[in-house]
Structure 1
Amino acid sequence: MTDEKMQLVIVTGMSGAGKTVAMQSFEDLGFFCVDNMPPALLPKFWELVKESGKINKVALVIDLRSRAFYDQILHMLTDEDEGSPAIASQILFLDTSDKELVSRYKETRRSHPLAMEGRVVDGVRKERELLAPIRSNAQYVIDTTSMTPRELREQIFETFGTEGATGNFHIEVVSFGFKYGLPIDADIVMDVRFLPNPYYVPKLKNKTGLDKPVYDFVMNQPVTEKFYSHFISLLRYVMPGYQKEGKSTVTIAIGCTGGQHRSVAIAQRIADDLNADYTVHVQHRDVNKRKETVNRS
């Protein structure tokens, strides 16, 4: 266990104000997240977290729909802070105007949890009255009335992330063979079957793009260098845009015919180059498949 304070963020607020988006954002910031935990279970949960010694950021969504829950949660937080100076607890309250909340409930055709058989507006007003005390005690209040989910995400990153944090954004680079089908999770697909094929070089046929002779053969082609220069520049240009739009993962799929030579070499180089600025994982999906085809292009 380190001397670093464990960070506990209690996420609460009006039903429909964006708690689900908030929880997803905290997950992307590396928080251990739990949704809808009864406050009475908080001490035991926090004891288990401390015993693990591996978790230092926790976000809990607690739905406070009764004054009893409110009293319990304030009592628990007071006890935790006084008994455990290594814990830094904060309350994030998400609020939205009554008009916008009613509109969101009408749009989703859901009943308000405090007015299951009555008018949505009555449930909203009742909940606001019950939550007024905890709102006044919250360290952070975010009004999501005019916010898009992306804007709420950015606000949470700015408030609770480390300097320059963009969440757990990472890049997946996958090489594949078109004969085995495209990766279904690909965001960007590049076909490199136009590059000279090492398969037709007898001494390279049974090797892969992970072997230096094959890698060098692919990379030493004039067409490869010109193509790669343009493509890696494009990737570096678009990645910040994906981050800004709130994506946590971008999958770049590089394909050739069988997924053993050209695509592997190009994917490996892309992963090595982007790794200087991003967290990058590389997978060569079909590198060990050796089914023969009559026609290779």
Structure 2
Amino acid sequence: MSGAGKSTVLDALEDMGWDCVDNLPVSLLDSFVHGDEGKQCRLVPAAVGMDVRSRGFDVQAVPAVLRSIEGVQPEILYLECAGSELMRRYNETRRRHPLAPDRPAEDGIARERALTEPLKRAADSVIDTTDLTPPELREELRRRYGDHDDQPVLTIVSFGYARGVSRTADLMFDMRFLDNPHWVPELRPLTGKDRPIREHLAQDPAWNDAMTRLEALLTDWIPRYWAAGKSYVTVAFGCTGGRHRSVCAAEEMAERLRKAGFSPNVRHRDLSSEPSDTIEEHRGDAESGELG
């Protein structure tokens, strides 16, 4: 999707030593891979950025063209992004959408989403950049395409339901049944990475039992995902505001999984958010008696 972060992706891959080119005409793909002589493939990974502006761009033809190039194993990475976030980005940059030069950007976004849907279905992997900052997107690419001996990637994420569910999660666990540290004045400014928060949650009778059960579940399920061919597994823990319970749960689960032989990355989506009584009183919270 135009505006979903293609330039950021190419810059990040270039920093990792890849040969990168943007908006290459489809007819030149084979020449780019094999060089001018057409005899030898590139000795380093290569990335080609394409969107609806690329000459010869055809969502039906591109996958077939890629897979017809001899001597390479191509992967299609599709960059997804929610329409509201794309609108915000276009408004910030004041750029025109390539499919709507004389119409509102939302018209172009809707048209492009429909046009590229077949390519999204044909993609080997999809990254939703809606909730990712450029540094977080670069870190995600480093995990996927950096030099890590081709090991499957496990990521533990924390988030706040009141700020929207995690869009990248394969497994999502709701921690709003735990006692909320936000309502303890001396704990409110802290986060789930601070020891007093962990000590507070440890006093909740449900804490240790929940973490032990989830650990057993994850140590059983994660290898099954990888055995099924999934290279990336993201486990998300959510609470109301994304600052206390979910953060603590993500940190502790990462520790437990490391002891079990895994190597998880940890990302806290809403950790930098300011404490808010309004957010914590969100009607989806367990404290209100209504679980969303």
TM-score interval w.r.t. the shorter chain? 0.3 to 0.5
Structure number, greater radius of gyration: 1
Q: Of Structure 1 and Structure 2, which has the larger fraction of its residues in strand? A: 1
Q: Tell me the TM-score normalised to structure 2 length.
A: 0.48
Q: Tell me the TM-score normalised to structure 1 length.
A: 0.47
